[in-house]
Structure 1
Amino acid sequence: MACLVGLPTLVIMPLSRRSLLRLGVGTATGLAAAGVAGCAPGTDEPTPDPTCVSRSSLSGHRSLGDADLIYDISQNRNTFWFDDGFYGQLGRWLDDYRELTGAAKPDQVWTYGSWLDGGPDCDSWHDAGRAFDLSRLVRNGEVQVSARYDIWKDYAEDRRRRFRTRYWALAASLHLHFAYVLTYLYNPTHHNHIHIDNGRSGEQLSTFSTRSTAQVQAVQGMLNHIWDRPVEITGDFDRATAKAARSVLEQTGTDGGLDDGVDQWRAFLRATAARRIKRH
């Protein structure tokens, strides 16, 4: 069993009926379904519908790069199943995250799951092996960065601020590589993990949509907690949010605003991820 320094050993979020039914599968993959229910696209734009694939069409992995994949509920290493292209994207994201933030290489990636058997529903990119629920990165038994908002939201102020800064730097790096990234701001289902899928962005880096609730929420979270630009968390790309983001871009040497194009969007995210080094 994997043990972490300074965190409670187990906090389990309530399970949906769909998840409870899947617990009867009796395998690590079946157990993984407990953590992935309720991850829906975070945009109002028309997007491709998720597809269902069989596990036999996917590749099983017990690590991401050199880091063991740990199932957060059992706290044990497990095999998780992925679409090959999506798995490769996750590896590229992890390398980029380390380069942007200056973080040391993790030896464990904790997760609530990847593929699950969609059955007749087929309403999530998890059903295609193209989604992943990330809960924390760990090195030598110590948490480098945690998506377990359900745990660290109750920490003392200074410690909570440190965890929150690292969380939003992590989220920025994920938003760079994937268009669907759902944080704790999206709904309570995501208080114990960040959901990632490539249903909208495919094999490319992400683009920004002012109509994406999840992306705009994340921008507002980053402005508040990384850049000290207080804005209201609304999920709407309002004038205050646009102005604050433009001032960050200007501060970091990029002209324009987030709604001007991919260069501004990606520059904002890269600068936000790198800000982790300067703040903590």
Structure 2
Amino acid sequence: MRPENTVAELAGVPVHYDRYRSDAHGYGTRGRPVTLHCTAAFEEKLQACFEELWDVCPLGRAEVVTTAGAYVDKPGAHSKGRAFDLDGLFWSERAFVARNYPREREFYLAVEAVLRKHFGTVLNYRYNAAHRDHFHIDDLAQRGFYKSHRSRVLFLQMILTHLFETPVAVDGIFGPETSEAAREMLVRRELASPGALAGGEALDRTLGEVWFDLLGEVARAGFADATAASPPASGPDETPLALLNQVYAAIDEERVGGWEKTGREA
């Protein structure tokens, strides 16, 4: 049943629907104003999330939030009024569109870090093809880090590779490569001491304990260049790290199809 509660603004910013078929209001544009339905409890989390997003992003409060919707009469969190699909954020000086992840990974991951502070389930560009053009967020799962949840491991691998200069395969598997890179990152960022990370269980426990601190670090690092103009649609970055990232991305793209066919816990 559709919730009676409605929302048309998030932390003072109008919400627009951008999935119209016209070029003027289609995906990637500012769309048109919309009133969404969701539970009051879920709206409260959305409002807190976007208030924090405006606080931590150097660009401040956006002018428009674009979405693919909230309540939808289909199985899952959307039918419960406990899900929201985020397509983009528009400021006067910059536009963020989820589909542009390959060109603005750092900014994308900073946005995702804030979303993950407030919601247990966040499905992103690397989760599967269906989520390459939006973030799906819902509150059906607990917040925090769980290595059994593929979407959370993917996010960890993405920040290791694209923010913290410890490239790993972005495959959603919490294996030896990811474990070692996570240990190195936690020590380097002074979120844990080497002695506290001995053994697999110690690493799992520590990641759980420092997860929200790590999300804050990701937001700060990812938004560091937020006031720069949106990246151009062409013109690849040819720094050594960027070239290495491109190699990993090419490998990972070959793996995504397999995950999409088999599926796995979010």
Q: 1:215 aligns with which of 152, 157, 171?
A: 152
1:49 maps to what in 2? none
State the alpha-carbon separation in 2 of the partners of residues 242 and 58 from structure 1: 45
Q: Structure 1 residues 95, 263: CA separation in 2 closer, same or farther (over 3 Å shift)?
A: farther
- Tell me by how many angstroms 1:279 deviates: 5.0
User: Which SS does the other structure have where 1:109 is aligned?
Assistant: strand
Q: Structure 1 residues 73, 141: CA separation in 2 closer, same or farther (over 3 Å shift)?
A: farther
What is the CA deviation profile of residues 160-186 of structure 1, one whole-angstrom value per residue up to 9, with x for unaligned ones?
2xx221001111221222121101111
AA aligned opposite 1:199: L
Structure 2 matches for 1:24-173, cutoff 5 A?
54-55=1-2, 57-74=3-20, 75-118=31-74, 123-140=75-92, 142-143=94-95, 145-149=96-100, 153=102, 160=103, 163-173=104-114
1:101–1:275 contact (8 Å) kept in structure 2: no
State the alpha-carbon separation in 2 of the partners of residues 140 and 265 from structure 1: 32
- Tell me by how many angstroms 1:236 deviates: 0.8
User: Which SS does the other structure have where 1:148 is aligned?
Assistant: helix
1:268 maps to what in 2? 214
1:148–1:192 contact (8 Å) kept in structure 2: yes
Alignment of 1:251 with 2:188, yes or no, is: yes
State the alpha-carbon separation in 1 of the partners of residues 186 and 49 from structure 2: 22
- Tell me by how many angstroms 1:141 deviates: 7.0
2:106–2:223 contact (8 Å) kept in structure 1: no
RMSD over aligned Cα, in angstroms? 1.8
Alignment of 1:199 with 2:145, yes or no, is: no
User: Which SS does the other structure have where 2:224 is aligned?
Assistant: helix
AA aligned opposite 2:8: R
State the alpha-carbon separation in 2 of the partners of residues 58 and 232 from structure 1: 44
1:168–1:273 contact (8 Å) kept in structure 2: yes
State the alpha-carbon separation in 2 of the partners of residues 174 and 110 from structure 1: 15
State the alpha-carbon separation in 1 of the partners of residues 177 and 59 from structure 2: 32
User: Which SS does the other structure have where 1:272 is aligned?
Assistant: helix
AA aligned opposite 1:126: H
Q: 2:122 aligns with which of 175, 181, 196?
A: 181
- Tell me by how many angstroms 1:254 deviates: 1.2
State the alpha-carbon separation in 2 of the partners of residues 199 and 62 from structure 1: 22
Q: Structure 1 residues 250, 278: CA separation in 2 closer, same or farther (over 3 Å shift)?
A: farther
Q: TM-score, normalised by structure 2?
A: 0.72
2:54–2:62 contact (8 Å) kept in structure 1: no
Q: TM-score, normalised by structure 1?
A: 0.69
Structure 1: state its 5+ residue gaps. 1-53, 154-159
State the alpha-carbon separation in 1 of the partners of residues 52 and 184 from structure 2: 25
Identify which range, 96-105 or 82-91, moves more after superposition: 96-105
State the alpha-carbon separation in 1 of the partners of residues 214 and 11 from structure 2: 27
AA aligned opposite 1:252: R
State the alpha-carbon separation in 1 of the partners of residues 67 and 5 from structure 2: 17
1:223–1:230 contact (8 Å) kept in structure 2: yes
Structure 2: state its 5+ residue gaps. 21-30, 198-202, 227-266
Alignment of 1:232 with 2:169, yes or no, is: yes
Q: Structure 1 residues 63, 235: CA separation in 2 closer, same or farther (over 3 Å shift)?
A: same
AA aligned opposite 1:259: D
AA aligned opposite 1:70: H
